[in-house]
Structure 1
């Protein structure tokens, strides 16, 4: 019986003229693509304004190049994704056009400067990003931030009118079986520095035993860190099947009209779930649920808090997150950056000084106690014996 070996992906190569050659991995959704993107592949995406989280996910996969059908920076706000890709040494070409997405997954591509070819035939030409072009795009985007602030204010008022019953009175929040009342809650989102911040909270989790809520892929982050989520909240587009079938209670975030695309997937897996229709984001739904169910403390990891982070998320204004944080109030503790706050900054000379101080303290302790004085006398006597033996050996 012949064994069928897995098909190997041909490694990318660089031709003498600088042309990069490698296999294409194509997907309109960047976070879906990163699940199957491998080192050396050429990532083909359609992602306007590449955000930090997406860029870091791409860098972790080590592609040889990223080809973007859209503009990596549209000018709406100064996103940092393109710079992260360039800093990692990844070729970035954007503005290649929608036709790029018609490429067959696995097709052998040639990238020559800003031109993409298949079998020697040119299929698209875009803009090859450099440190200079990225800086120019960022400078132009910073000038347009006032427009985004105005849009934020408009969306805040619109969301407040739509969801005032939910925000003010908790009307529409479903009941869950997980006991939350009187307990602390830890909400995990796969956002900025979530891994480092989650690692710094190990002692808090061990001592306080909070309810662990994973927002979509945040459930996988909890499992990767060695725990099991109690609740999974989200539209179920980026959480794994293994997390959904881990035994956690599932709350499917639906549109306000009741449509819940993620419910079909959860039902197919046989996971028990309830539906929560709301206009905001899934992390907002998780916070409102925890607050309404009586949580005494809500600790958030990887959530969005600044204007750039709101815009990175791709939702206009992100008014729901802003108002949700106002509603939760003093219960909310944002753990963002806690890993950087407590990062060790002790230098080598400080460690040497600390060691010398410890030795000095030990010497003083030995000198002032009877037991220490006896130990010193024995040590000196032993040293005298050794010195006498050495003198006799060389003198004899």
Structure 2
């Protein structure tokens, strides 16, 4: 009798398996990511906003062609990803990036990238974890002095170019939305923007501030149930960073930030939607342009949602707009309040039901005090004698 041949069940290979999404441009990659994907990108000194966007997209691992932390300054992105338990591999190089085919099923193990069941990796880098991230962050903090020197020079140059806008308000458009003596909330799609927006709901409900959505921040407001009064967008931004057409059409004012000397056709896309945007030509970022608009509108207070508040977050932005942000904060001054501070500073408006509860509590306390006196006992006896026959008459 011939015995049937035994079929060997293949053992599961070690590592993490996912669909590779490969893109050099980080913004373009973020727009394509789906839960379960393995993000492959080329992003030196990953910032916290990008890391949070990767987490929100549901990636299972991140492979970087460049160093996650170059040592120039303590960028916060790797710390966010490592803290969330996302496997990180850095330094696979441009060749490794080119060897990974977009959309292919890959396996990540010990810092190596395998395609399918292949035994030979197509790319290899260095695996980093939370402990190594902390070590690199500590070393990177020693490079802050050099970065601050460069930043000081860039700030002086930016002020020279933008002094008319920052110091005199020249070139600012005039939105139809009135902001004089009103609170203004500027929403940016950044780290913890959802939690910060949820925390100031009582303020939004009771004060009715002017709402300004900056690029994706306008969609954040819409998703939270609010309609932005003003939307600020960048004419040069990718389509993935722009708000939806519905949000743009629903806003009272749409302000487009353009580089100085930009062509008139830069706003054609918005005009095709039936929107007549206001132009703001400046080297400032869209976030800073929104703050400058609110300040020029004489807002009583400006609350920033999703913005950078600490020195580490400030330097983490690692872009030419650093000087813009610094000088804009100086320009706005004490009007700007971080959304995280609002719940500590704002206790809410006193409503009639609050007064009613206080009166009711006082009445109960007064009744209890009177009840222990001889007069109170006499009143209680009379009340009992009066109510007893009434209650007995109601009972069958």
Classify the TM-score, shorter chain: 0.7 to 0.9
- Asked if 2 retains the 8 angstrom alpha-carbon contact of 1:153 and 1:317, the reply is no
Matches within 5 A, 1:117-136: 117-119=114-116, 120=118, 121-136=120-135
Tell me the secondary structure at the aligned position of residue 144 of structure 1.
helix
Using the alignment, how far apart are the partners of 2:107 and 2:150 within structure 1? Answer: 41
Matches within 5 A, 1:243-322: 243-258=247-262, 263-316=267-320, 318-322=322-326
Query: Per-residue displacement from partner, 1:29-71 (whole Å, max 9, x unpaired)?
Result: 4444344422221111222222222222222233221111221
Query: Per-residue displacement from partner, 1:47-96 (whole Å, max 9, x unpaired)?
Result: 22222222222222332211112211111211222122122221111111
- Asked if 1 retains the 8 angstrom alpha-carbon contact of 2:89 and 2:128, the reply is yes
Stretch deviating more after TM superposition (308-317 or 205-214): 308-317
- Asked if 2 retains the 8 angstrom alpha-carbon contact of 1:55 and 1:82, the reply is yes
Offset at residue 101 of structure 1 (A) = 4.3
Which of 62, 87, 99 is equivalent to 1:91? 87
Instruction: Pick closer, same or farther for the CA change 1:262–1:51 going to 2, 3 Å.
Output: farther
Using the alignment, how far apart are the partners of 2:378 and 2:338 within structure 1? Answer: 51
List gaps (5 residues or longer) in structure 2: 1-9, 348-362, 385-396
Instruction: Pick closer, same or farther for the CA change 1:15–1:132 going to 2, 3 Å.
Output: farther
- Asked if 2 retains the 8 angstrom alpha-carbon contact of 1:72 and 1:94, the reply is yes
- TM-score (norm. length: structure 2): 0.78
1:160 corresponds to 2:159? yes
Using the alignment, how far apart are the partners of 1:266 and 1:299 within structure 2? Answer: 27
- Asked if 2 retains the 8 angstrom alpha-carbon contact of 1:303 and 1:336, the reply is no
Offset at residue 137 of structure 1 (A) = 1.2
Matches within 5 A, 1:33-182: 33-102=29-98, 103-119=100-116, 120=118, 121-182=120-181
- Asked if 1 retains the 8 angstrom alpha-carbon contact of 2:39 and 2:62, the reply is yes
- TM-score (norm. length: structure 1): 0.78
Using the alignment, how far apart are the partners of 1:209 and 1:302 within structure 2? Answer: 19
Instruction: Pick closer, same or farther for the CA change 1:330–1:366 going to 2, 3 Å.
Output: same
Aligned to 2:392: none
List gaps (5 residues or longer) in structure 1: 1-13, 344-360, 379-396
Using the alignment, how far apart are the partners of 2:112 and 2:216 within structure 1? Answer: 35
- Asked if 2 retains the 8 angstrom alpha-carbon contact of 1:197 and 1:337, the reply is no
- Asked if 2 retains the 8 angstrom alpha-carbon contact of 1:65 and 1:92, the reply is yes
